[in-house]
């Protein structure tokens, strides 16, 4: 499989979020996972393949994974 590459301006590149250690997730927690460029589909993953959902707000990463967080 070949990778798609593109050239973009530096301001359009978003940094990776910092790692947040979580030992367990609860039902309805917001998490991020990557599955072959699929979006809006439902998949099952082990906790080890999930990461805490974070939003980049004004240049800072904000953790927002617990149910009810925005």
Q: What is the DSSP letter of 4?
A: P
Question: What is the rounded CA–CA span in Å between residue 32 and residue 19?
Answer: 12
Beta-carbon contacts of 37 under 8 Å, excluding residues fewer than 6 positions away, are none
pLDDT of 3: 82
Question: What is the rounded CA–CA span in Å between residue 53 and residue 70?
Answer: 10
| Percent share of the chain, pLDDT over 70 | 81
Residue range 5-33: mean pLDDT, rounded? 84
Q: Decide which of 66 and 48 is more confident.
A: 48
Question: What is the rounded CA–CA span in Å between residue 12 and residue 31?
Answer: 23
Residue range 35-64: mean pLDDT, rounded? 81
pTM of the model: 0.58
Rg (CA), the chain: 14
């Amino acid at each position: 499989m070949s990778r798609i590459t593109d050239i973009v301006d530096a301001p359009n590149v978003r940094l990776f979020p910092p790692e947040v250690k979580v030992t367990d997730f609860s039902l309805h927690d917001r998490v991020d996972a990557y599955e072959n460029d699929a979006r809006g589909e439902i998949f099952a993953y082990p906790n080890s393949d999930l990461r805490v959902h974070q939003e980049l707000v004004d240049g800072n990463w904000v953790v927002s994974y617990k149910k009810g967080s925005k």
